[in-house]
């Protein structure tokens, strides 16, 4: 994940709305959001087939969400350099499992961050949103303020070109359904946000490729790295949470306004494993 837009206001009818854009190598296989983890039957999210983890997941029982972004190392290396024994994609699942068992506890309680490449982990519900950032040397935790914020690979960075360009538009149109459980359809839940994402997909893309052709303010990424390798925004997730309800939508074609689909986060048919 490379961009997460968060609208947080604990006094709103719908306190938490999120738009999360996942940037990844196009060739990396993944599965659409579903109940993919039998040992964590309540959790719903997209699954990375290579490592088995996720970039974003929700717990509809405890009404929580967690999202992961790759971080920048403190020493200036590229984020993909280095070898680490654990996959960052496990962190959102662990965070949700931790908070489900122990409400209010640090979602990284008991974790050794040195096992992971640098990351930003968003831990959110209707009452609070915290961002845990590990740069390979220091672990920083900070609450997100009330309002609309954008989290990128450098963390909560209001000076990032994407944030400067796009945060005002998302803030101005921040959706707030009065009765989230009864709201139906993409537009009724998220209002103008899907349109903003479609417009961004039609603009010049941000690039992290070998040349300077990209627009650093672009919300949607695409870079041809040569040899058939393409890095791009492959999917977008929309979330809305109040204190009792999770609404979830997903698209793997952000340029197509008709490609959004609602995801049902209701309890899984999986049964938890019996205690040994």
Task: Give the pLDDT confidence score for residue 81 in this predicted structure.
Answer: 53
**Other residues' Cβ atoms within 10 Å of the Cβ of residue 110:** 8
Task: Give the pLDDT confidence score for residue 276 in this predicted structure.
Answer: 36
- d(CA 260, CA 17) in angstroms, rounded, equals 16
On whether the CB atoms of residues 236 and 250 are closer than 8 A, the answer is yes
- d(CA 28, CA 87) in angstroms, rounded, equals 15
CATH superfamily of 3-263: Inosine monophosphate cyclohydrolase-like (3.60.20.20)
CA proximity to 2, closest of 234, 158, 248 = 234
Contacts of 119 (CB under 8 A, 6+ apart): 68, 69, 70, 71, 88, 91, 133, 134
Token output for 220: 């949607």
pLDDT in tens, the chain (276 residues): 689 999 999 999 999 999 999 999 999 999 999 999 999 999 999 999 999 999 999 999 999 999 999 998 766 665 555 567 789 999 999 999 987 667 666 888 888 899 999 999 999 999 999 999 999 999 999 999 999 999 999 999 999 999 999 999 999 999 999 999 999 899 999 999 999 999 999 999 998 666 667 899 999 999 888 898 888 999 999 999 999 999 999 999 999 999 999 999 987 665 444 443
Edge-to-edge order in the sheet of strand 44-48: 30-34, 44-48, 56-59, 64-70, 119-124, 129-134, 139-143
> Positive or negative CA dihedral for 213, 234, 2, 230?
negative
Task: Give the pLDDT confidence score for residue 75 in this predicted structure.
Answer: 61
pLDDT 10s digits, 179-236: 999 998 999 999 999 999 999 999 999 986 666 678 999 999 998 888 988 889 999 9
- d(CA 128, CA 143) in angstroms, rounded, equals 7
Say which residue the tokens 């496990």 belong to.
90
- d(CA 200, CA 70) in angstroms, rounded, equals 21
- d(CA 54, CA 45) in angstroms, rounded, equals 7
Listed by start position, the domains of the chain span: 3-263
pTM of the model: 0.93
């Amino acid at each position: 994940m490379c961009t997460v837009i968060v609208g947080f206001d604990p006094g709103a009818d719908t306190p938490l709305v999120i738009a999360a854009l996942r940037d990844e190598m196009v060739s990396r296989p993944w599965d659409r959001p579903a109940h993919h983890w039998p040992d964590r039957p309540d959790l719903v999210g997209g699954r990375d087939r290579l490592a088995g983890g996720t970039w974003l997941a929700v717990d509809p029982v405890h009404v929580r969400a967690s999202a992961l972004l790759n971080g920048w190392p403190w020493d200036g290396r590229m984020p993909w350099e280095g070898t680490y024994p654990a996959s960052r994609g496990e962190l959102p699942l662990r965070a949700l499992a931790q908070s489900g068992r122990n409400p209010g506890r640090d979602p990284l309680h008991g974790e050794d961050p040195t096992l992971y490449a640098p990351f930003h982990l968003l831990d959110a519900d209707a009452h609070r949103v915290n961002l845990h950032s590990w740069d390979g040397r220091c672990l920083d935790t900070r609450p997100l303020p009330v309002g609309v914020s954008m989290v990128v690979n450098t963390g909560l960075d209001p000076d990032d070109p994407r944030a400067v360009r796009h945060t005002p538009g998302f803030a101005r149109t921040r959706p707030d359904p009065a009765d989230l459980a009864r709201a139906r359809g993409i537009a009724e839940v998220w209002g103008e946000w899907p349109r903003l994402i479609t417009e961004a997909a039609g603009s010049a893309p941000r690039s992290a490729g070998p040349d300077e052709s990209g627009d650093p303010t672009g919300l949607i990424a695409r870079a041809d790295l040569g040899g058939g390798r393409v890095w791009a925004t492959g999917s977008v997730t929309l979330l809305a949470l109040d204190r009792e309800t999770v609404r979830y939508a997903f698209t793997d074609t952000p340029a197509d306004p008709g490609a959004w689909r609602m995801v049902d986060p209701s309890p899984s048919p999986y049964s938890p494993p019996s205690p040994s």
